[in-house]
Amino acid sequence: MNISPLPAKAGFAAVAALLAGISLTSCTAKEPEAAPSTDSGKAPAAQITVAANDTECKLSGTEATTGPSTFVITNNGTKVQEFYVYGAGERVMGEVENISPGLERKLIVQLGEPGTYQTACKPGMVGDGIRTDFKVTGDTVKIDDEGKFKEASESYKRYVNSQTEALIAATQVFVDAVKKGDVPAAKAQYPTARTYYERIEPVAESFPDDLDPRIDLREADLEPGQKWTGFHAIEKQLWVTGLQPDAKALADQLAADVKELNDGVKSPEYKVDSTQIAGGAQGLLDEVSASKITGEEDIFSHTDLWDFKANVEGSQTAVASVRPILDERNAELGKKVDQRFTEVEALLEKYREGDGFVSYDKVTEPQRQELSRAVDALSKEVSQVQGVIAPQ
């Protein structure tokens, strides 16, 4: 299944057509049972509970065997949490963000190689987090090496490659306008360039060396002494302060960082498994709930609805990549996911203006709440996909 880049106005229709062409079968997957903790720190089953609060990150086990590991994270604190599993070189093997106080979230991670990994809870979603070594033993396990799993992985990687190629081209147009001092042209290109990034943002987050923050960090998330680069640093200059002496350097850095992302996903070493794809689909919807609905993402330009649509398009395409597995195991869930995507699409279309969207500061609070409810309903269904399609 080869998924081509989605134009800005045709994302939902294109994926909906793709999904409609896949036959449906009925098979329901079982949820894995929770594993009790042991004195040795090793959970007998590959499910680990994580009790997180503002100062602690307690795992029920710190060992597992190669293959899928399930982490059930409960936020018992007062701050929003993130949970990560890191491999060698700080490579993100899996993550779940925006875990509000009192909520529980599940993360399934494929750990196919024996070795020592690290888990991290991040209270307030900042810093390096509260780290714990996590040991994986056993023989190397081939992940998504055959059948529908291999097809899903290869399909989604082709999609990612197409998006990073388009991102490079669109970002270069944006960068050229900034460097020429053509503010109107740069403003017009800003939301278009970001579309390609927002569709695949979880991919960028999986790379080390803070690649995602270099490209997409918001001013509100800056830590003391941290250098601010990327789209939003330029956004502020375009809409608020006017172009500053460092504008050209910021533009060149953005182009270089986008190229680094493209080189990374083109590397033969880069792999994305079906479980990560499904997790990324959920992560993109979390992005909508956390920063697009509130208007925090593009706080200077108010182009949040472009990002909103791109996140949802990316989530839909990720689900489409694993859809043959989903339909084989739980066809009814696939139908519910389709319905919820259609509902969100219909709501977004209400805010169309020309080839884009209305400025988000024109969207009233009741309208934002309506969008939020629709995304929450969609997220509830998509959150189940990872558990259904995980290799058994």
User: Are β-strands 115-121 and 356-357 bridged in parallel, bridged antiparallel, or unpaired?
Assistant: unpaired
Pair 107, 191 in one domain: no
Confidence band (pLDDT; 50, 70, 90) for 53? Answer: very high
In a domain, 366, yes or no: yes
> What integer pLDDT is reported at residue 55 of this predicted model?
96
Pair 217, 76 in one domain: no
Say how many C-beta atoms besides its own lie within 10 A of residue 366's C-beta: 7
> Which stretch of DSSP H or E encloses residue 99?
strand 92-99
User: Bridge partners of 220?
Assistant: none
Structural domain total, the chain: 2
For Cα atoms 218, 221, 226, give the angle at the middle one, nearest 5 degrees.
95
In a domain, 189, yes or no: yes
> What integer pLDDT is reported at residue 298 of this predicted model?
98
| pTM score, whole prediction | 0.83
> What integer pLDDT is reported at residue 223 of this predicted model?
86
Confidence band (pLDDT; 50, 70, 90) for 46? Answer: low
For the chain, the average pLDDT equals 88
For residue 8, the SS3 value is coil
The residue segments making up the domain with residue 81 are 47-137
Pair 320, 238 in one domain: yes
> What integer pLDDT is reported at residue 17 of this predicted model?
38
In a domain, 42, yes or no: no
pLDDT exceeds 60 at position 22: no
Segment 90-95 shows an average pLDDT of 89
Pair 113, 190 in one domain: no
Domain endpoint, select from 115, 137, 159: 137
Domain endpoint, select from 93, 115, 137: 137
Pair 158, 300 in one domain: yes
In a domain, 32, yes or no: no
> What integer pLDDT is reported at residue 128 of this predicted model?
86
pLDDT exceeds 80 at position 177: yes
- Nearest CA to 349 out of 55, 11, 4, 89 is that of 11
Domain endpoint, select from 137, 156, 188: 137
> What integer pLDDT is reported at residue 146 of this predicted model?
87
- Nearest CA to 118 out of 105, 106, 135, 95 is that of 135
- State how far Cα 133 lies from the chain centre: 24
Q: What percentage of the chain carries pLDDT values higher than 70?
A: 88
pLDDT digits (tens, 9 = 90+) for 98-143: 898 999 999 999 999 999 999 999 998 888 899 999 999 999 998 8
**5-19, 155-169, 267-281: the lowest-pLDDT one:** 5-19
pLDDT digits (tens, 9 = 90+) for 221-234: 998 889 999 999 99
Pair 203, 341 in one domain: yes
CATH value at residue 228: 1.20.1420.20
Pair 158, 124 in one domain: no
| Higher local confidence (pLDDT), 186 or 128 | 186
pLDDT exceeds 80 at position 193: yes
Tell me the C-alpha distance between 375 and 289, whole Å.
7
Pair 149, 121 in one domain: no
CATH value at residue 64: 2.60.40.420
Q: What percentage of the chain carries pLDDT values higher than 90?
A: 77
Pair 132, 174 in one domain: no
Segment 275-300 shows an average pLDDT of 94
Confidence band (pLDDT; 50, 70, 90) for 147? Answer: very high
